[in-house]
Structure 1
């Protein structure tokens, strides 16, 4: 029972309750339906990018180009709309573009064996630059009113936005895949040890390739929501949002080295950051101070597991050493095995 109470996800949920209680008590208008809708909408795209990053980081990799893919897909949406294309046709084309950009990341990382950090830092600039090439510095507006409610409206007269329902559906699907399917078990296995996962028969390269493609598609979905929500397609849309998404994933308890983390933890971190940002916004705290707080949250999210590990090693040095250095298992030597058991010809004789 104590372990469950002290789990990071439980601590995050308590912090979420504390922040929302603080906002309700100290900030006029915080608990109003319109503000709660704004709070949830404000982090819709961040949540989609975080869900795109979650399985990638579970395998010990990273994708820093997610916000740039969003920006390129938003720019592409504007260009196609300006060209007179129907929005129903634009949506699948934008989703396909996101998949292509994700595939390029995957090809460089998986096929050529390049470091994910270096590749996605490069494509972060590349995709953002391509967005400016496609659309320029201007903005495209005037998207169809029939679609905008899906990005700005609420369901059934409640405070729950349609975009948040979309995030919840994707989060539930992610939770099922990550925590209840062989694919999810493979994610954790690869994050804990890539070579061991390969020896276990997991197709690591295929798995990682698929993750980057799915990440690109989720970024494209986020771009459509972002573009419709602000009624503006720009090349600089979501600039810098990748850092907020990474902070949410790491604050949610996902290890930057892979192999540990949950969808519930990431969801709790997103609610915590959204609630804190909303309270600060209502109290007229500047964006610069909010950026400082986001940076501190990112540092804390990385520091807490390290400190917890140090404390655990100090309290139980023998158990920690046994956990960190498991007995090495060697593969059987085929030559020695054939010497011990005899060759097939000798067995037949």
Structure 2
């Protein structure tokens, strides 16, 4: 490095492609995932069993389905904290339909429609009335969950058709469950959408500067409304899979998932302030959280410990980049 007074410091040579890849957040996450995998395999002799590893994927696939559109929403500068409550309301609607004799196809369509409707409701409040998304979705978090409690109380809906169980318990081939295959397909679809289309570039532009994006011809409100629709729809998909896997509906279903989903997104490298992030990072973060959860389960660690861990992880992921930037600024000074 050479520098003179009043001149910017210029490196003697550029970083190699390998150095740039190694310095990416996704590479660090991948290393963390491998370390957790090795630690779990050493901690429990049952971890490396193929069927146990397949069961481990159920710890994150349903949450990751929502994390993909949530990542786009946060990149655009918005957030949806009502996703877990949308799952509860969609599951309640599906359970109520079963009581009236609905078949598997009708149940699935009702779950997807309720999720889409909730997403549209959130999107309209944010894009049409100009309300802050965090305030709106905190309100609808209570609203949607409250409706589920009013309908069910302390009861539960059961009696789902046998064919409906395949969505949450079925396997496409060998140890590859339907949920895992769906997770992979959605990861590919959202990766292409965000990183390979004009819509994805519009999402990044809005997150970096919504005013500039608007003056450049991007329909900011329309893009954000679509993102809320996508988040609601994927919450409906997760409701179908989760209800199918559990075989019943209670108003407390998916309680606390919003924290884990946001943590998954932020851990994946998506800036909570918007404007940056990637789908591959979210995919790796999903595996990291799934491996940690499954490892704790094998070691009989209480669930409250996992909640504490998730909370600390969220705080740490948000705080560490800022602390690192301050340290770097002091070194430069």
Structure 1: distance between partners of 2:142 and 2:101: 29
Is residue 49–residue 67 contact of structure 1 (8 Å, CA) maintained in 2? no
Shift of 1:315: 4.6
Does the alignment pair 1:183 with 2:184? Answer: no
Report what 2:315 is aligned to.
299
> Are positions 1:267 and 2:266 aligned together?
no
Describe the shift of the 1:139–1:244 C-alpha distance in structure 2 as closer, same or farther (beyond 3 A): same
Q: Which of 37, 42, 45 matches 2:54?
A: 37
TM-score normalised to the size of structure 2? 0.92
Measure the CA separation in 2 of the matches of 1:85 and 1:143.
9
2:103 aligned to 67, 86, 98, which one? 86
Which structure: larger Rg? 1
1:307 Cα deviation after fit: 2.4
Structure 1 match to 2:217: 201
Structure 1 window deviating more from structure 2 (129-138 vs 224-233): it is 129-138
> TM-score with structure 1 length normalisation?
0.88
Q: Which residue is 1:172 aligned to?
A: 188
Quote the residue 2:21 is aligned against. 4
CA deviation string 1:18-52 (max 9, x = no partner)? 10111112212001122111110121221112113
Q: Which residue matches 1:214?
A: 230
Matches of 2:44 and 2:32 in 1, distance apart?
Answer: 17
- How many residue pairs match? The answer is 316
Distance 2:161 2:117 in 1: 26
Give the CA RMSD over aligned residues. Answer: 1.3
Distance in 1, matches of 2:201 and 2:96, equals: 41
Tell which deviates more after alignment, 131-140 or 71-80. 131-140
Structure 1 unmatched runs, 5+: 318-349
Once residues 308 and 153 of structure 1 are traced to their aligned partners in structure 2, the CA distance between those partners, rounded to angstroms, is 45
Partner in structure 2 of residue 135 of structure 1: 152
Shift of 1:11: 0.3
Residue 154 of structure 1: how far off its partner (Å): 2.4
Compared CA separation, residues 13 and 246, structure 1 to 2 (3 A):
same
- Indicate the SS of the match to 1:306: helix
Correspondence list, 1:193-342, <5 A = 193-316=209-332
Deviates more, 1:304-313 or 1:259-268: 304-313
Unmatched tracts of structure 2, length 5 or more: 1-17
SS of match in other structure, 1:148? helix
Distance in 2 between the 1:225 and 1:300 partners?
A: 31
User: What's 1:67 paired with?
Assistant: 84
Say whether the 8 Å CA contact 1:78–1:234 is kept in structure 2: no
Which residue of the partner structure matches residue 162 of structure 1?
A: 178
